[in-house]
Amino acid sequence: MMRNSVLKVALLSVTAAAMAAIHPDLPQVRNVYLLPMAQGLDQYIANHLTRTQMFQVVTDPAKADAVFTEMLGKDFEQRMEILFPSPEKLKAEKERAERAKAEREKSDKDKDKAKSKDKEKGEAKSKDKEPEPVVERRDESTYMRSSSFNRGRGNVFVVDVKTRRVLWSFHHRPKNSSPPEIDKAADEIVEQLGKDLKPPKAAKQN
């Protein structure tokens, strides 16, 4: 009897630990965007996610609820800020664009006033067109070859786009870089994610 009680307590402890490792917001995720991973692992994961219909894989980061990444840190934060700029940053960009527009309009008016009134009629009036303010676009091409994202360590994270919280993580390092092995690793990652997303079965009480 004592041994059975100890085993039940141990089982409940393991179950509780597994449940604690899963963020409660993970089941709310519907659309996911995958950041580039070493050996093209992200492409294989996208394939298995699509086949299982676990999540909707999107190519537009603006539509994503969460992202898959193999590494966290400064480079990841910079990439996230580009793909998903904060409201404060968007507001600052809008204000800069409005100031630039106001300055251009003022400059055009000053140029018109400074023009000579005795110019011949019919002379074509030319106005210098200044370029539109460059708004930082959600382009990750400048980070595609970032060294920190080319060193796969076997970690895969699912990160919430809005809160930047890690909703799920798993470690599985492929044995080698062959396509079959990378595909196998992706399959096992997605399979584990599917298991973790399933609600735990209620423990039977004797």
Q: Could you tell me which of 86, 128, 98 has the C-alpha nearest to residue 110?
A: 128
Per-residue pLDDT tens digits for 141-185: 444 444 344 445 789 999 999 999 999 999 988 889 999 999 999
Whether this model's pTM surpasses 0.75: no
pLDDT over threshold 60, residue 136: no
CA distance 65 to 34: 11
Q: What are the boundaries of each domain within the chain?
A: 18-84+139-199, 87-111+130-137
CA distance 156 to 37: 9
Output the CA–CA distances (angstroms, integers) from residue 114 to 34, 66, 97, 109, in the order listed: 55, 55, 26, 9
108, exposed or middle or buried, with CB in 10 Å at 0-12, 13-18, 19+?
A: middle
What confidence score (pLDDT) does residue 19 get? 41
- The CATH number fitting domain 18-84+139-199, selected from 1.10.1740, 3.30.2450, 2.30.110, 3.40.50: 3.40.50
Candidate from 45-54, 75-84, 127-136 with smallest mean pLDDT: 127-136
Q: Could you tell me which of 50, 84, 48 has the C-alpha nearest to residue 66?
A: 84
Per-residue pLDDT tens digits for 80-125: 998 888 766 666 667 677 777 777 877 777 676 666 665 655 555 5
Residue 10 host element (H or E):
helix 2-20
Strand partners, 157: 69, 169
- Phi and psi dihedrals of 171, rounded to 5? -115, 120
CA distance 198 to 125: 70
pLDDT over threshold 60, residue 2: no
Q: Could you tell me which of 163, 159, 195, 138 has the C-alpha nearest to residue 71?
A: 159
Per-residue pLDDT tens digits for 47-69: 999 999 999 999 999 999 999 99
What confidence score (pLDDT) does residue 131 get? 57
* Residue in the block written with tokens 């044995």: 175
